[in-house]
């Protein structure tokens, strides 16, 4: 059986009781970075074989993992933080399991965009999860398309590209557009910063450094 197991996006205490039990019972744990997952497993006092499973080897390893599952192994799939397959590897393996009628289940749990959206103060009854924009090719075209979708839009972004994204939102959506930037969710320096995009641009442009994974929520109603 394949278990899709969300892991904390920040505070390790956010792990669920069920997730801890599953990780202690499976035969293997698939993870993006064995060092990151190794720290979590050490915190949970669980020792299990860790297998590397990330964006660069996902296509190559799916068949091997299917063989293990069909041979009777129980496998947990985790990402470095949050729910696997949400802007992280996992889709190909899940699809293959579905096609081959291999039993699987996804545990409910942490994902970064939900607390960012709820704490933003922006409308969250309906929203579009966009994830990461293309880094180069197709980025401007996609922003133009999103401008026509009148709802709250959620982006993931890295710290070193935050200013670039805010400048693009300012250009495409307008300087008065309400935007929320969330950083370090569930960590010591957690931040939810909601303001006009022009004010956020000024704020983050004056910071010496920007750290932590970023969620940007845009009110495009």
Write down the pLDDT at residue 94: 95
Q: Are 187 and 11 in contact (CB under 8 A)?
A: yes
CATH number of the CATH domain containing 177 = 3.30.950.10
* Residues spanned by the domain of 79: 2-106
The torsion angles phi and psi of 145, rounded to 5 degrees, stand at -70, -40
Q: Do 132 and 189 reside in the same domain of the chain?
A: yes
Q: State pLDDT tens for residues 191-212.
A: 999 999 999 999 999 998 998 8
Q: Do 102 and 117 reside in the same domain of the chain?
A: no
Q: Do 83 and 147 reside in the same domain of the chain?
A: no
- Please give the C-alpha separations between residue 115 and each of 10, 129, 184, 215, 216, in angstroms, as whole numbers: 12, 13, 11, 10, 12
Q: State pLDDT tens for residues 64-91.
A: 999 999 999 999 999 999 999 998 889 9
Q: Do 63 and 150 reside in the same domain of the chain?
A: no
Q: Do 102 and 125 reside in the same domain of the chain?
A: no
Parallel/antiparallel/unpaired status of strands 178-183 and 214-219: antiparallel
Per DSSP, 27 falls in state: S
Q: State pLDDT tens for residues 145-191.
A: 999 999 999 999 999 999 999 999 999 999 999 999 999 999 999 99
- Which H/E stretch holds residue 119? helix 113-119
């Amino acid at each position: 059986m394949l278990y899709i197991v969300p892991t904390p996006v920040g505070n390790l205490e956010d792990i669920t009781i069920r997730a801890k039990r599953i990780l202690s019972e499976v035969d293997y744990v698939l993870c993006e970075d064995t060092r990151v997952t190794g720290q979590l497993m050490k915190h949970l006092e669980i020792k299990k074989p860790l297998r590397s499973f990330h964006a660069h080897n996902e296509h190559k390893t799916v068949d091997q993992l299917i063989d293990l599952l069909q041979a009777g192994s129980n496998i947990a799939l985790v990402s470095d933080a949050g729910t696997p397959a949400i802007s992280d590897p996992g889709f190909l393996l899940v699809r293959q399991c579905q096609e081959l009628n291999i039993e699987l289940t996804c545990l409910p749990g942490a994902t970064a965009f939900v607390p960012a959206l709820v704490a933003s103060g922006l409308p969250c009854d309906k929203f579009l999860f966009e994830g990461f924009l293309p880094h180069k090719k197709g980025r401007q075209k996609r922003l133009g398309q999103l401008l026509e979708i009148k709802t709250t839009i959620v982006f993931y972004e890295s710290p070193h590209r935050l200013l670039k994204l805010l400048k693009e939102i300012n250009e495409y959506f307008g300087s008065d557009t309400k935007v929320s930037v969330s950083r370090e969710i569930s960590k010591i320096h957690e931040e939810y910063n909601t303001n006009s995009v022009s004010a956020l641009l000024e704020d983050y442009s004056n910071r010496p450094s920007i750290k932590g994974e970023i969620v940007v929520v845009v009110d495009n109603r």
